[in-house]
Amino acid sequence: MLLASVQSSHNGALREHKERCYLRRVQHALAVRQLMGSFATGHEALTTIQAITTSATLSDTEKVTQIRALLVAREAQRLLDTETLAALQASVETKVGDEEYYNITSQRAVGGSKARTP
């Protein structure tokens, strides 16, 4: 009976650990997709700025005005990109390994005692 209880607790902790790992992978993939889209949009903006600066038909004042308008239009997206990048960096820096598994098992331990980490 004790063995079945220990095995059940182990299986539950392992399942929760796998669920957390899967959730992190999904969040990571979403953040990467968003940043790739932002990269493409940023590349388009640079291409537009290049076309504006090399235009022979626009005066310098018109060039600056058009570039400023482009930058203002991209400001909200830039702020979102910054937040997405920060979240992605945090998720990359967070290790998902045995330590998390041991934290889960220690939370499930009877009486709240901490499981030993190797």
Q: What is the pLDDT of residue 59?
A: 95
pLDDT in tens, 7-23: 887 788 788 878 888 88
pLDDT in tens, 66-116: 999 999 988 888 888 888 888 777 777 765 555 666 666 676 665 444 444
Max distance between CA atoms of the chain, in angstroms, equals 85
Q: Where are the domains of the chain?
A: 6-93
Q: For residues 89 and 31, give the distance between their C-alpha atoms in angstroms, rounded to a whole number.
A: 10
pLDDT in tens, 45-61: 999 999 999 999 999 99
Written as six digits, the tokens of 81 are: 């990109």
Q: Which of 71, 69, 67 is nearest to 58 (CA)?
A: 67
> Does 32 score more than 80 pLDDT?
yes
